[in-house]
Structure 1
Amino acid sequence: GNSELPTAVNITWSSINFKTILQWQPKPSGYFYTVEIHGQTSNTKKKCILTAETECDVTDALRNVTETYTAHILSVMTMEMDNFEEPPYAVSEKFTPYNQTLLGKPEIKNYTQKGSKLNVVFQDPLTPYKFPNGSFQSIRDFFHHDLEYKLYYWKDQSSGKKDATTKSHTLEVSVDSTKNYCFYIQGIIPSRRENRNGQESVVLCTSVGRNILDEYGAEVFIIIAVIAIAVVTLAVVLTVILCKRKKAKATREMK
């Protein structure tokens, strides 16, 4: 019967921006898995019924993101689904999406460096959940004031980072107007104990009229100077040699 079937092991929750995948082992042979999501207050929801896979997208069963859930992964034979014998199952660790989902990369929409101000405009990562009108809800629609963003910025080609924090979608910081800056943004939930810091956005850099010295450094100028001196020296040497030859030729002809 069912009781001899292997049960799932190494059960893990993977969650980014509330998109949550449950994964486990081993690959089934001669049996299937069915996932049950148990909430503290919500009804049990069945997902990935009779699957031969070892992962299951359980996002839509965790819609109440502040609730704590456990997953039961049942090992079942197809024939015996109608049987009243309870199938063997493994239980996952508890998972609370609000506390445990990772924050994904924010998207930088626009940035400008004008004078001594660097201004960055960005967008909240979206979740798989939708408003009634069909548009996707962002992580801010769930975290509200718990969500902050941190801008890390530094002078191009230097390593000294500075940072600034905001609860809005824009950040403005004071910079050296003659230097280029690179920067990235990261979402943060300060109230969390774990997974406080989200994924980092792409790194972008400004380009206020770079001069060649900034771009290539002094070495290039030294090389150019050496080449120039070599060319001038060669020209002088050739001129001297040619002059001497002309003089010698003129002297011979006079004889």
Structure 2
Amino acid sequence: MRSSAAPCIVILFFTLSASGSYPKAQNVTWKSTNFKTILTWQPKPSSDYSYTVEFSTLSGNKEVNAHCIRTFGTVCDLSSSLTDLKTCYTADVKSVPLPGATSDLIEFPYTSSPRFCPYQDTDIGKPEFKLTVSEDKRTTTLHVTDPLTAIFKDDRQLNIRDIYSDELQYYVTYRKNKSTGKKEKTSKSNVIEITGLDKGESYCFNVQAFIPSRNGDKDKGELSVTQCTNDDQSFFKVYSVAVIAAAIFLILLLIGLIVAVTVVCYKCRVKALKKGNKESESPLRDV
């Protein structure tokens, strides 16, 4: 009984030793914005092993990215590899020996990623936009630029409208400057008119991409930088009477000081000139 169990113990020992020298990857995570899709994991490998990434659709064959074979890094850019944006993918991060090294392992340790569906899961970045204000100051128009993606087709970089087409909308929130109350508007167009604004008031705007077909908190993209219109309030509305009076007083005081200093300097110069003239007119003593 002992003699037959010994070989099994030896085989198990070597298997555990080999797998132990190639620890599994941990925290395998997808990070994706505008279809720039990166697979990340931990830890950094030692000098004894490296990582190889294999990916596939849920029903397809496993593939590899040339830049993610026996890598010593902990990231793999799969943006150009996930070509079918509307399908879902998984990836395996394998811990593999270095080139030329031997191992008795038949299957190298690996860790699988969560499922990732680019069309549904990539984050949409913040859009940029410009503001124009009508002559009557009652309408502000937002001109929104579709964010670019990491996807290229026929040597052209695609934007999010190229991918989402009519599904793409923009969600606008706006408020009076220095106010917390917000209003909102949704538009399918990149040119968005906000009407019925109060004349003479400054308004602040934010924009997000909005894709209703996406689930949960993925239906809206990243919030844009806030932009505000100029305030057309009059000088007397912005500054109180007391502030204006104080400013006028300071200006008059400064003018008075300048005049006083000028007069004093003038008198001193005149006095000096008179003294010089008297000294030049006095007769010289006989030697």
TM value normalised by structure 1: 0.80
- Structure 1 unaligned regions, length at least 5: 233-255
Deviation at 1:62, TM superposition (A): 1.1
Q: Out of 14, 35, 39, which is 1:22 matched to?
A: 39
Indicate the percent of aligned positions where both proteins have the same amino acid.
37
Aligned to 1:86: 107
Aligned to 2:208: 186
Aligned to 2:223: 200
For the residues of structure 2 that align with 1:182 and 1:213, how far apart are their CA atoms?
23
For the residues of structure 1 that align with 2:59 and 2:145, how far apart are their CA atoms?
33
Q: Out of 171, 174, 190, which is 1:153 matched to?
A: 174
Q: How does 1:112-127 map to 2 (within 5 A)?
A: 112-114=132-134, 115=136, 116-127=138-149
- Structure 2 unaligned regions, length at least 5: 1-14, 253-287
Aligned to 1:237: none
Deviation at 1:44, TM superposition (A): 2.4
1:73 equivalent to 2:93? Answer yes
Match of 2:198, SS state, is coil
Match of 2:123, SS state, is coil
For the residues of structure 2 that align with 1:21 and 1:230, how far apart are their CA atoms?
62
Match of 1:59, SS state, is coil
Larger radius of gyration: 2
For the residues of structure 2 that align with 1:182 and 1:139, how far apart are their CA atoms?
25
Change (3 A) 1:213 1:130: farther
Change (3 A) 1:130 1:225: same
Higher-strand-fraction structure: 1
Deviation at 1:129, TM superposition (A): 0.9
1:52 equivalent to 2:68? Answer no
CA contact (8 A) 1:113 1:208 kept: no
1:3 equivalent to 2:19? Answer yes
Provide Cα deviations, 1:172-198, integer angstroms capped at 9, x if missing partner: 011122212111110112222222221
Match of 2:99, SS state, is helix
Deviation at 1:223, TM superposition (A): 3.7
Provide Cα deviations, 1:107-141, integer angstroms capped at 9, x if missing partner: 11x32111211111111111111121x12111112
